[in-house]
Amino acid sequence: MRYHPTEVVSADELEAIHHASLRVLAEIGMDFLDADAREILRAAGASVEAGSQRVRFDPEMVTEIIRTAPSSFTLHARNPAHHVRLGDDWVAFGTVGSPPNVADLDRGRRIGNREDYQNLLRLSQMLNAVHFLAGYPVEPVDIHHGVRHLYATFDALTLMDKPIHAYSLGRQRNIDTLEMARIARGIDAEQLDREPSIFTVVNSSSPLRLDTPMLQGIMEFAAHNQIVCITPFTLSGAMAPVTLAGALAEQNAEALAGMVLTQAVRPGAPVIYGGFTSNVDMQSGAPAFGTPEYMRTAMIGGQLARRYGVPYRSSNVCAANALDAQAAYESVFSLWGAIMGGVNLLMHGTGWMEGGLHASYEKTILDAELLGMVAAFLDPVVVDEDSLAFSAMEEVGPGGHFFGAEHTQSRYRTAFHKPMLSDWRNYETWEEAGSPELPAKANRIWKALLAAYEPPPMDAGIREELEAFVARRVAEGGVPTDY
């Protein structure tokens, strides 16, 4: 990130949001639905109401405990070439995560399944614009949910060699995925505890509640020094106040409460401040994304994360149902809000559609195009004797052109960003080529990428150990069905 993030609100206004959040935590409090979490917070100085799930926080306790949260850290992949640095000025792009449905131009919209899940993993491995797996690119619904995390994590660790995500859906699932990440990297438990190798997103059940599976995820991951991204799901007008300031105050209160728990479990545990405040359509109640409200809260969320000195998460999202202009412009707005908000961890970078209800193969390619443009935008502008090109201007002189100049000829192949999708031909040439439009071109590209895919190498012994772990845990029944 080579540009200063946009400061949407003044320093005084930012402090007003901060103090409003502390007042919410002190006077209203939050419900923590797990007794172990409540006990950890009580021992750390929070006030736990007897016979209740309500926890209240002294403002000084909050600000003091979160001081130990690190400003940056590395998320380790099984392939060291794909480690990503999170925090400070580093930016990383992830896949879409968690849609229950999937779609493409050939077969339309359908329920998520393992075949499509695996194909989207393969695309994510092939696309350079994708730096990490941000959750299941589509939910493999055809795998029983008691063992889904085992098969899905195995696929993620074998079909990709980029950093991965695990869902906080109860303690046992966290324990399983931590062990699989350890096996895949070929390291021991002590090294895993030193090197964050997997991350989880914890969504509060807004307003002002954290449920048992999410709290168990915080406690397990923080205890093992793995990354927890606290992300309140604060939709203004529905699960948060209709005013942006009020929604942000609630978002901030919920994020701070989660951050406190991570540091109470293990001071210095890596934690990310997540912003996901948007608005709803007040006529239908449907979530809206890529809106002016979303852009502003994305940027203010970054201001809040920087105030606390922790990395910031935002998302590339839209509410479009088809790969049309709406899908593109809402994603551009979301991306711009995230980038100018100083995002470090960009979730849902490729493929998100329909407010997160389906993943699209073609949108995956469109988003990869957008992320590639963002990456090119973040490249530095080189200013030196060679790039100032006096010799080229001297060679061409007044009234000439630069196409044939040596300066151009030696650089033209790499001088500019080369898009995958944009068509820069003139109208006549484009028409002669059959008037191709973007969705069909994206369709051809994802198919070509899948045809060219080769799985990343994995040591045979490590793969056997992973397979044996999955087989044993499946034989044991996976996770009980009460979650």
- 483 has a pLDDT exceeding 80: no
In the predicted model, what is the mean pLDDT of residues 191-203? 98
Q: What is the pLDDT of residues 306-323, one digit of tens each?
A: 999 999 999 999 999 999
pTM of the complete model beyond 0.75 = yes
* Average pLDDT for the chain: 97
Q: Which pLDDT value is given to residue 181?
A: 98
pLDDT band at 43 (very low <50, low <70, confident <90, very high): very high
Residue 378: strand, helix, or coil: helix
> Regarding beta strands 92-93 and 54-56, do their DSSP bridges make them parallel or antiparallel, or are they unpaired?
unpaired
Please state the φ and ψ torsions of residue 426, each to the nearest 5 degrees: -70, 170
Instruction: Retrieve residue 78's tokens.
Output: 């099984």
> Regarding beta strands 30-32 and 209-210, do their DSSP bridges make them parallel or antiparallel, or are they unpaired?
parallel
In the predicted model, what is the mean pLDDT of residues 185-206? 98
Q: Which pLDDT value is given to residue 450?
A: 98
CA pair distance 45, 455, nearest whole angstrom: 49
Q: What is the DSSP letter of 67?
A: G
pLDDT band at 49 (very low <50, low <70, confident <90, very high): confident
CA pair distance 288, 457, nearest whole angstrom: 41
Please state the φ and ψ torsions of residue 30, each to the nearest 5 degrees: -130, 150
CA pair distance 440, 461, nearest whole angstrom: 42
Residue 48: strand, helix, or coil: strand
Instruction: Retrieve residue 38's tokens.
Output: 């409540």
- 199 has a pLDDT exceeding 70: yes
In the predicted model, what is the mean pLDDT of residues 47-61? 96
CA pair distance 349, 440, nearest whole angstrom: 21
Q: Which pLDDT value is given to residue 141?
A: 98
Q: What is the pLDDT of residues 81-99, one digit of tens each?
A: 999 999 999 999 999 999 9
**Number of other residues whose CB lies within 10 A of the CB of residue 483:** 14
CA pair distance 443, 81, nearest whole angstrom: 29
Q: What is the pLDDT of residues 237-270, one digit of tens each?
A: 999 999 999 999 999 999 999 999 999 999 999 9
- 385 has a pLDDT exceeding 90: yes
Q: Which among 345, 343, 346, 341 is positioned nearest to 14, based on CA atoms?
A: 341
List, in sequence order, every residue forming a beta bridge with 104; answer none if it has no partner: 108
In the predicted model, what is the mean pLDDT of residues 333-344? 98
Q: Which pLDDT value is given to residue 401?
A: 96
Q: Which stretches of 179-246 are assigned E, i.e. beta strand?
A: 199-202, 209-210, 227-230, 235-236
In the predicted model, what is the mean pLDDT of residues 113-142? 98
In the predicted model, what is the mean pLDDT of residues 113-121? 98
The reply to whether omega before 70 is within 30° of 0 (cis) is no
Q: Which pLDDT value is given to residue 396?
A: 97
Query: 183, 462 in Cβ contact below 8 A?
Result: yes
pLDDT band at 482 (very low <50, low <70, confident <90, very high): low
pLDDT band at 480 (very low <50, low <70, confident <90, very high): confident
- 411 has a pLDDT exceeding 50: yes
**Number of other residues whose CB lies within 10 A of the CB of residue 214:** 27
